[in-house]
């Protein structure tokens, strides 16, 4: 596909918790400026990505905090060259200039194990979830997947008798 890397949408025969784990995503338009991008990332909560969507809500890219910092380090004028300073409003940098054009994504029907494989292979902490028209419907976070994969508590094994300990004698 031309938009990114997708997980297959095959069904595993069981109810898929991926659609239950998806959270509302943080989005931005490709024509947004640098200040709007920084503000949106700062207001995105724990998410470290913003998903770039077209006017119909289809996923067309993503921007991570690290990608923005990388751009700012390569082009010090983006942040006026000084930490903590607001970007120069005269800069014509737009989200489209720094977004990842091939975001990795899953569908609501992607098996949980496959979503985890994508995240591990691509070193992602968040994975956007799209419908069959590539409209962004949510985001799955690595910690949510980890919570879902945690096995139930298993009682500790009973201690084995110590062969070196004296045996209880039967007085009968």
Q: State the pLDDT at residue 51.
A: 94
The Cα 58–Cα 65 span in angstroms is 21
- pLDDT tens profile 134-151: 999 999 988 887 777 655
Q: Does pLDDT of 16 surpass 90?
A: no
Structure confidence at residue 3 (pLDDT): 40
Q: What is the mean pLDDT of residues 66-73?
A: 83
CB 127 within 8 Å of CB 6: no
pLDDT of residue 55: 94
Q: What is the pLDDT of residues 120-132, one digit of tens each?
A: 999 988 999 999 9
164, containing H or E segment: none
Q: Where would I find the H helices in the chain?
A: 18-21, 34-42, 65-74, 95-98, 112-122, 142-149
Tokens linked to 59: 């996923």
Phi-psi region of 13 (alpha: psi -120 to 50; beta: other; left: phi over 0): left
Residue bearing the bigger pLDDT, 38 or 154:
38
């Amino acid at each position: 596909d031309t938009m990114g890397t997708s997980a297959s949408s095959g069904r595993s025969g069981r109810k898929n918790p991926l659609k239950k784990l998806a959270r509302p995503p943080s989005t931005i338009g490709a024509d947004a400026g640098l200040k709007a991008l920084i503000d949106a990332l700062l207001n995105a909560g724990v998410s470290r990505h913003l998903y770039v969507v077209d006017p119909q809500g289809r996923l067309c890219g993503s921007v991570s905090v690290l990608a923005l910092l990388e751009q700012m380090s390569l082009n010090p004028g983006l942040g006026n060259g000084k930490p903590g300073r607001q970007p120069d409003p005269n800069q014509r940098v737009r989200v489209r200039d720094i977004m990842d054009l091939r975001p990795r994504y899953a569908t609501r029907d992607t098996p949980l194990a496959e979503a985890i494989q994508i995240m591990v292979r691509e070193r992602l902490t968040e994975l956007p979830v799209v419908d069959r028209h590539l409209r962004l419907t949510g985001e799955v976070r690595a910690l949510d997947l980890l919570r879902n994969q945690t096995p139930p508590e298993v009682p500790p094994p009973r201690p084995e008798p110590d062969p070196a300990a004296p045996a209880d004698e039967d007085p009968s």
